[in-house]
Homo-oligomer: A and B are copies of this chain.
Amino acid sequence: MRNDLGVYTIAEVEDRAGLSSALLRQWERRYGFPRPERSPGGHRLYSETDLEALRHIKQWIAEGVAPAQAVKRYLEGLTQEGPRPPETLSLELEEALLRADTEAAERVLSEAYRLHPMETVVMDVISPCLRRIGDGWHLGRVTTAQEHLSSTYLRGSLQGLLNLMGGSLGPTLVVSTLPGEQHEIGSLITALFLRRAGYTVHYLGPNTPLADLKSFAERTEAKAIVLSAMQPISLETLPHQALRHLAPLVVVGGRAAAGDPRSIERLGAHYLGNDPRELAESLSVALKKAGLW
Contact = CB atoms under 8 A, between A and B. Distances in A.
Interface of A: 1, 3, 5-9, 12, 15-16, 39, 45, 55, 60, 64-66, 68-70, 73, 100-103, 106, 109-110, 113-114, 143-146, 148-149, 151-153, 155-157, 159-164, 166-167, 174, 176, 202-205, 207-209, 212-213, 215-216, 220
A152 B1 contact: no
Contacts of A55: 166
Task: Report copies per complex.
Answer: 2
- Is chain A's interface secondary structure helix, strand, loop, or mixed overall? helix
Contacts of A3: 113-114
B113 A205 contact: no
Nearest to A205: B152
Contacts of A5: 69, 73
Given A7-B60, A7-B69, A16-B64, 17 more contacts: A1-B109, A5-B73, A7-B65, A7-B70, A12-B66, A16-B166, A45-B69, A55-B166, A102-B167, A102-B202, A143-B215, A144-B209, A145-B204, A148-B207, A148-B208, A149-B205, A156-B162
